Amino acid sequence: MTEQFDYDRVLASLLVPEVLSALADVHEHRGRERLYVTMASDVLDSLVESACIQSTGASNRIENISTSDKRLRELVTAGAKPHTRDEREIAGYRYVLDEIHTSHDDITVTPNVILQLHRDLYRFTGAGFAGRWKDSDNVIAEQGESGEMVVRFRPTSAVATPHAMERICDEYARQIGTGRYDPLLVSLVFAFDFVSIHPFNDGNGRMSRLLTLLLLYRSGYLVGKYVSIEREIERTRQTYYEALAASSVGWEDATSDYAPFVTYMLGVLTACYGELDERVARLSPGRSSEDVLRSYFDGLMGPATKREIMDANPSISRRTIERILQKLQVEGAIEKVGAARATMYRVRR
């Protein structure tokens, strides 16, 4: 019988053209990231706050946890006191995200540390299950065509969860220590196993994305600090779920194919690196705010809200953006669609 969590076997199975090609794309972008850290550090610094806001909002929205844009910004950047259950969960996510941003090199990947991060995720809620492995079995279910709930996947049982978490942490450490396989592949295999084990009563999705970010940082992939990986996952949510479903087939008996999930995540990283390239080019010194916004709209595929425009161009003040938007509308370069909070802007074709 094939042994579960045999990372030598799993990682060897990923050395196929589709995965290696996607991995090469990420490596190419990572080389430019290193150049930006040296040559465009001021531009990168201007992107951090916006990415943090977007990551916190997107990862929680995926789990149907939300608040207004104004409150989200206050919770993330000003440390505002949360007022609702959703806001308390959002504040906890921001807290753990800050920990990862500032201390990733010192956060080791062990069961006890993962339990501590989960406790911190719920630090503002008073949840009794915070920082504890699940105490009952859970299932991943979806609504069938006739409206009934259908079990899609059965994660690791509650009784087997502590051992499973020990195993994947040990395997991760062993693979990183030997250096035989690319740390990025090792990190994504760990992330998939984590979400498949589903070790907590609640918060598994958000914890999986936080741990993915942590492992990426520890492997030297810092793009998530400047461009929100969680927002790209939210944008491609259906594909995300399809990749999870495809890779979960046979997982419990160690016959699953990790490639769909790994390839999807490599694509997410490539998209984020592409966005980073665009932002660095757009925000580099010497360009006027108007030139920056014109360049932004030139690369825009669809409409964008004012908040999205501000988040993508954090070095430009709200007042300046509003002035330039008005000018571009008068020129006929862009047009406004919708009204009030639903207002969006798009290129006039």
Q: Does residue 79 share a domain with residue 97?
A: yes
| CA dist., res. 51 & res. 34, Å (int) | 18
Q: Domain span at residue 340?
A: 289-347
Give residue 71's Cα distance to chain centre: 21
Domain end: 282, 299, 329, which one? 282
Q: Which of 29, 101, 118, 198 is the catalytic position? A: 198
Domains in the chain, number: 2
Q: Does residue 186 share a domain with residue 274?
A: yes
Domain end: 250, 282, 314, which one? 282
Q: Does residue 312 share a domain with residue 266?
A: no
221 is in an annotated binding site: no
Would 2 be classed as within a structural domain? no
167 is in an annotated binding site: no
Would 45 be classed as within a structural domain? yes
205 is in an annotated binding site: yes
28: exposed, middle or buried (Cβ count in 10 Å: 0-12, 13-18, 19+): exposed
CB atoms within 10 A of CB 201: 18
240 is in an annotated binding site: yes
* pLDDT digit string, tens, across residues 232-269: 999 999 999 999 999 999 999 999 999 999 999 999 99
Q: Does residue 105 share a domain with residue 216?
A: yes
Q: Where are the alpha helices (DSSP H) in the chain?
A: 7-13, 17-39, 41-62, 69-77, 85-103, 111-121, 161-178, 183-197, 204-218, 229-235, 237-248, 259-283, 289-298, 306-312, 318-331
pLDDT tens for the chain, residues 1 to 349: 568 999 999 999 999 999 999 999 999 888 888 778 777 788 888 889 989 999 999 999 999 999 998 899 999 998 899 999 999 999 999 999 999 999 999 999 999 999 999 999 999 999 999 999 999 998 887 777 777 777 888 899 999 999 999 999 999 999 999 999 999 999 999 999 999 999 999 999 999 999 999 999 999 999 999 999 999 999 999 999 999 999 999 999 999 999 999 999 999 999 999 989 888 877 776 678 888 888 888 878 788 898 888 888 877 888 889 999 999 998 888 998 888 778 899 998 7
| CA dist., res. 39 & res. 89, Å (int) | 37
The pLDDT, as a whole number, for residue 153 is: 86
List the CATH number of the domain containing 326. 1.10.10.10
241 is in an annotated binding site: yes
338 DSSP assignment: S
The closest alpha carbon to 97, from 229, 250, 5, 239, belongs to 229
The pLDDT, as a whole number, for residue 178 is: 96
207 is in an annotated binding site: yes
The closest alpha carbon to 223, from 21, 36, 22, 25, belongs to 36
| CA dist., res. 242 & res. 18, Å (int) | 17
Measured on CA atoms in the order 171, 240, 234, 75, is the torsion positive or negative? Answer: negative
Q: Does residue 327 share a domain with residue 244?
A: no
Q: Does residue 302 share a domain with residue 220?
A: no
Q: Does residue 296 share a domain with residue 271?
A: no
Tell me how far CA of residue 212 lies from CA of 204, 254, 266, 325, in angstroms.
12, 22, 12, 37
The pLDDT, as a whole number, for residue 19 is: 97
Does the active-site annotation cover 198?
Answer: yes
Domain end: 282, 306, 325, which one? 282
119 is in an annotated binding site: no
Would 1 be classed as within a structural domain? no
Q: Does residue 153 share a domain with residue 298?
A: no
List the CATH number of the domain containing 117. 1.10.3290.10
Would 35 be classed as within a structural domain? yes
